[in-house]
Amino acid sequence: MTGPIPEAFAAFRAFLRRPMLLEPSGLRAPGAKRLWLGMAGLHLSVLLLVLLPFLKAWQHALGLPAPDAYGKLSPQVMIPVVVLVAPVLEEAIFRGWLTGRPRALWLLGCLFALVGLGLAANAAPASPGVSVALLALLVAAPLGWFALRRRAALAIFATRQPVFYYASAVVFALSHLANYPRVSLAAVPLVLPQLWTGLTAGFVRMRLGLPAAIALHISANALALGLALALSRLA
């Protein structure tokens, strides 16, 4: 039996066995849309039929709290944040650099520097040095992106791609423990859906590119949030 999902699963399984540095084809390449549809179907099927039911059962069995990261946001704000803003930022941060291109690594470094400057500004709001550094960073980020646009991927990403691929998925998953009011070893299985997203979106990012990974992430978040809102209305 053939179809988008079995074909995508075969390609995904082969990549899991040996993650490698790839040149993303983009969604316009022959067969790219079929692969994306297959991965979206595979991702959402496992999420809906396996991981979300497991998540609910695990929470109920151990009396674990539900995530509260967005509990203080109104639905009008929460929906675009969860469905649009979070996928774009998370894919850029956790998987945008997986191809090892210097310009992507440059932007990732600029992002970390921006976070550091934000913390410094919060600690010393009137510091002129922080303001100057922030302005310099905002100028340097696009300039670096342009200057590095033709640089090839770093060699270490070819030799250590399995490490980068699996580490990005694990770190992405564990970072979502911050969504819960209490963190414990029992709560670690609660981020299995995010681990699954990290693995599938990482593969899509490597095969098809960052926009395709963002689209996959958006579909997953939309499904999860839609189910959560529907169940809350039925409760």
Eight-state DSSP code of residue 64: P
pLDDT of residue 21: 96
Per-residue pLDDT tens for 95-139? 999 999 999 999 999 999 988 888 887 777 767 888 888 899 999
pLDDT of residue 226: 84
Going from N- to C-terminal start, the domains of the chain cover: 29-99+155-235, 101-152
Q: What residues contact residue 32 under an 8 Å CB cut-off, 6+ apart?
A: 25, 26, 208, 212
pLDDT of residue 68: 74
> 114 and 166 in contact (C-beta within 8 Å)?
no
CA 129 from centre of chain: 33
- What's the CA gap between 102 and 151, in Å, rounded? 6
pLDDT of residue 67: 80
- What's the CA gap between 54 and 6, in Å, rounded? 23
pLDDT of residue 26: 95
List, for the chain, all residue ranges whose pLDDT scores fall below the cut of 70.
1, 69-73, 126, 231-232, 234-235
Residue 32 φ then ψ, to 5°: -65, -45
pLDDT of residue 126: 65
> 66 and 59 in contact (C-beta within 8 Å)?
yes
pLDDT of residue 184: 87
Provide the token pair at 121. Answer: 């500004």
- Helices and strands per DSSP (H, E), number in the chain: 11, 0
Please give the model's pTM, rounded to 2 decimal places.
0.91
**Strands (DSSP E) along 77-232, which ranges?**
none
- What's the CA gap between 155 and 101, in Å, rounded? 10
